[in-house]
Structure 1
Amino acid sequence: VTGLDIWASLLSTGAICTFYTTIGGMKAVIWTDVFQVFVMLSGFLAVIIRGLLLVGGPARALAIAANGSRVNFSDFNPDPRSRYTFWTFLLGGTLVWLSMYGVNQAQVQRYVACKSEREARIALLVNQVGLFCIVSSAVACGLVMFVLYKDCDPLLAGHISAPDQYMPYLVLDIFQTSPGVPGLFLACAYSGTLSTASTSINAMAAVTVEDLVKPRLPTLSPQRLTLVSKGLSLFYGTACITVAALASLLGGGVLQGSFTVMGVIGGPLLGAFMLGMFVPACNTAGVFGGLGAGLALSLWVAVGGSLYPAPAAIAGVLPTSGAHCPLYNSTTNHTLLLGPPRHPDLEPARRPPIVGDFYAISYLYYGALGTLSTVLVGVLLSYVTG
């Protein structure tokens, strides 16, 4: 959409992120995150303000979005196959965020870096304020996008080829006469990517040094440990670039993909910590058995859901229209499933029975499924093995 080659973007982002994380460590990650959050908010605000001016103000935007069912606070459908309802956010979303802020190494190491527990709590509170601003801004951008393209979906019209390109397309469209603003949005997107990637790289290097290197090589000097940590940052950064290159070849949206990975990995991990904190009788066999079972089950469902995406009617995917697109030869609404592309050989009639229900559950429940299965299997194995 922007004209920037995806491989050049991927390699440059990975190289820059790996470089400053390797050289600067935790301090570099924290200070760049502070700067990047302001860049991200600036990009969001520019899109929101310009978009609202084009659609006629916040009141009109909300009215159109509500008329298109994009603003719905009363969806209490208990069906776990429906992607976004009150219950999926309350139950599934809560456990996903709890795993991120409760047991994720990238977050926990920041709590530990604070001088006291009180400072850690204040830092977490400030983080929640910032997270609220970022998520609210993203939601506002989504509403503006729907209002602007409610009669001509760029994906249906062929202007873009993937759901992840909606936002860049919107920016280039509404800021055609404003040089520099598309670059601000590009900086906004890069800031979010660099912030997340650098935090993960630094966290993986730190936990490897503390839990694997130090216990086995206790005689290493602090200088040597620093070099080892930087080497690990370089290694993990290179690994991230490789994984990102492979991920770019897959279909589906970034949001669903990231929450799927967080749920599959973080859900069982949260269950293991819950066993350790709330089940005194739990033993090593129970923890590892439960962790393995939770990971296997959540991964099984995630892979199945990717291979057999739920039908749009079951998932609750809302329709979009290409009726007023100049090059779109149809005046009827179409429903798009914004997820992994369907396998051409998997016809509905030939689908296994398990596909209709088990594989169709919302991706926000993957973490909850992993957590619950880890706890249940862990408790059972602990009592069986004594």
Structure 2
Amino acid sequence: MGTLDWIILSGTLLFIVSYGVWKTRGSKDVNDYVRGGNQSKWWTIGLSVMATQASAITFLSTPGQAFHDGMGFVQFYFGLPIAMIIICLVFIPIYHKLKVYTAYEFLENRFDLKTRSLAAILFLIQRGLAAGITIFAPSIILSAVLGWDLRTLNIIIGSLVIIYTVSGGTKAVSVTQKHQMFIIFAGMFMAFFFILGYLPEDIGFSKALKIAGASDKLNILDFSFDTKSRYTFWSGITGGLFLALAYFGTDQSQVQRYLSGKSIRESQLGLIFNGIFKIPMQFFILLVGIMVFVFYQYNPSPLNFNPAATQGVLNSEYAEDYKVLQERQLALETEKIIAQNKFSTALELKEYTAIEAAKMQIININSKDSTNRAVAKTLIKKADDSIETNDKDYVFIHFILNNLPKGLIGLLLAVILSAAMSSTASELNALGTITALDLYKRNKIKDLPDKHYVQASKAFTLLWGVIAILIACVANLFDNLIQLVNIIGSIFYGNVLGIFLLAFFFKYVKGNAVFFAAILTQLLICVIYYYLIHIYPSGQEKLGYLWLNFIGSALVIILALAFEAFDRLLKKPLE
């Protein structure tokens, strides 16, 4: 990184923090701090909702996901537009009518205090874990860039977010996210066009797509009914739908964004905006990863994109073995270029036989490439078992640091860090609000002035910021960070969504039945996750994790209906 990169990076981050503190200083009451005084316009809501979901993990992991596995991940979002329509028609009108500060406040009105508290606690567990991961993700980046200790970086990044989030609450999160989204879009578009410019002169965008397709990177739709597959059309339209319903309809980090709207219409328009543009945005980010893949078909790439892994094995007794493997990979890179040139020529000549022959050659080379990378991971593990061999999350940052011009490197790092800050700010804001209002205030015997609960919200936001930093300090790479966040959400979201669906559509079901059904469902989901997903290596699970959202929702509804029927049969309440 050059001086210009540091100026752009530090200037962007300082502007976001300073602007957030200055613009929203002095919240007068709980409504002002938690709901931003209900002044947000639909475009602010829409951008804020997108920025909350689009963390650094999105821009760090998604291109790497596409690089390794192709475009199939976009199916994860297919249920989202349907979810937005349902939330606009059902959730938002009820929330606004009841004038709630949190989503779980509604559950007490419908059921009882213990059901509200249970849902709030489930939210705090999963969102607290996710907040730590969203801090950890950008720390990986700066650790690779600067060689700094990960824990130090976790503390620095977490502290920056805490400053303006504690200071200004919901309004601070919303006003900063508009600027963060502008930086994010500008940086990603610039990166995309620079990648295209770095491809050989005869490789345009259309031909680049065909090159990616030859390596099976453009298989977007999978209509198979294989429940073991993580991403299919059916898992996206069902499990993805239930996950989106739970996330946008019951997760306070999102609900708080549209509760700040000036009216029901503004909140609805904000969510519709997100429903229209979310899939294209994710498609574009995946496409950036695909173009990075095409770039590395003509340029050498490391056996492992994690620089710490490479350095670790080269400083070990397995250094000579690794160097031999690097030489073998370098020879394979030459074969790869020759094969791609043959494929490109065959495309121009439109010779079907030559095209298919070149494809087979490319597939054979990809198989050898995968074998070399697997051997490399084995050597790295032998050298130091503590080093993370999974390198999906390092692919895009490796490309940025080694290929983009000065200035743009700083901008792209600012993009990823801005995304991390916006998402983490929303999460801390929501965690502090839920703790202060759903647990502290509601279970406190003596009612205190509004100012006290504003201070309590700030104190709990600070506390959760510290907890998130601690979680980040003990975090480690999973198969892929973006998948880790979604897996954590899937374990809890289905259950919470089922509770809300019972509240909306099953008016005769009472609080006791829902409470006990929710506890039992959460235990069963954890068991299902462990025995059908967790204990198996990546790609060999017995159940795709997205199905947990559907199963959780269905289980809690069925159990609650059964408990309610049993309760009525006995003519006495469940205890």
TM-score range, shorter chain: 0.7 to 0.9
2:398 maps to 1:251: no
**Residue from 496, 514, 523 that aligns with 1:296:** 523
Change (3 A) 1:70 1:299: same
2:277 maps to 1:122: no
2:427 maps to 1:284: no
Show the counterpart of 1:9.
Answer: 153
Change (3 A) 1:307 1:43: farther
For 1:1-386, list aligned pairs within 5 A: 1-5=144-148, 6-55=150-199, 56-150=203-297, 154-156=302-304, 161=389, 162-175=391-404, 178-215=405-442, 216=444, 218-247=446-475, 249-304=476-531, 305-310=533-538, 312=539, 314=540, 359-386=541-568
- C-alpha separation in 1, matches of 2:212 and 2:564: 51
- C-alpha separation in 1, matches of 2:181 and 2:233: 29
Q: Which range moved further: 53-62 or 138-147?
A: 53-62
Contact 2:305 2:398 in 1 (8 A): no
Aligned to 2:161, what secondary structure does the other structure show?
Answer: helix
Contact 2:305 2:394 in 1 (8 A): no
Change (3 A) 1:284 1:158: closer
Contact 1:109 1:203 in 2 (8 A): yes
Change (3 A) 1:58 1:289: farther
- C-alpha separation in 1, matches of 2:305 and 2:416: 24
- C-alpha separation in 2, matches of 1:70 and 1:17: 36
Contact 1:41 1:134 in 2 (8 A): no
Choose between structure 1 and 2: higher helix proportion.
2
- Report the residue type matching 1:94 in the other structure: L
Aligned to 1:179, what secondary structure does the other structure show?
Answer: coil
Contact 1:256 1:363 in 2 (8 A): no
- Report the residue type matching 1:19 in the other structure: I
- Report the residue type matching 1:306 in the other structure: H
- C-alpha separation in 1, matches of 2:430 and 2:215: 42
The alpha carbon displacement at 1:135 in A equals: 1.3
Change (3 A) 1:269 1:54: same
Change (3 A) 1:68 1:293: farther
- Report the residue type matching 1:81 in the other structure: K
Show the counterpart of 1:327.
Answer: none
- C-alpha separation in 2, matches of 1:34 and 1:262: 25
Show the counterpart of 1:317.
Answer: none
Normalising to structure 1: TM-score of the pair? 0.81
The alpha carbon displacement at 1:182 in A equals: 1.5
The alpha carbon displacement at 1:150 in A equals: 4.6
- C-alpha separation in 1, matches of 2:305 and 2:462: 42
Per-residue CA deviation, residues 307-333 of structure 1 (Å, 9 max, x unaligned), is 3225x4x5xxxxxxxxxxxxxxxxxxx
Percent identity over the alignment is 26
Normalising to structure 2: TM-score of the pair? 0.55
Contact 1:298 1:370 in 2 (8 A): yes
Per-residue CA deviation, residues 292-321 of structure 1 (Å, 9 max, x unaligned), is 2332233233344233225x4x5xxxxxxx
The root-mean-square deviation of aligned C-alpha atoms, in Å, is: 2.1
Change (3 A) 1:297 1:156: same
The alpha carbon displacement at 1:273 in A equals: 0.6
- C-alpha separation in 2, matches of 1:58 and 1:131: 23
Of structures 1 and 2, the one scoring higher in RCO (CA 8 A, sep 6+) is 2
Larger radius of gyration: 2
- Report the residue type matching 2:398 in the other structure: Y
- Report the residue type matching 1:199 in the other structure: S
The alpha carbon displacement at 1:155 in A equals: 4.9
Q: Which range moved further: 262-271 or 156-165?
A: 156-165
Structure 2, unaligned stretches of length 5 or more?
1-143, 310-388, 569-575
Change (3 A) 1:74 1:110: closer
Per-residue CA deviation, residues 153-188 of structure 1 (Å, 9 max, x unaligned), is 64557756422111101211321xx11211111111
The alpha carbon displacement at 1:360 in A equals: 2.4
Show the counterpart of 1:322.
Answer: none
Aligned to 1:363, what secondary structure does the other structure show?
Answer: coil
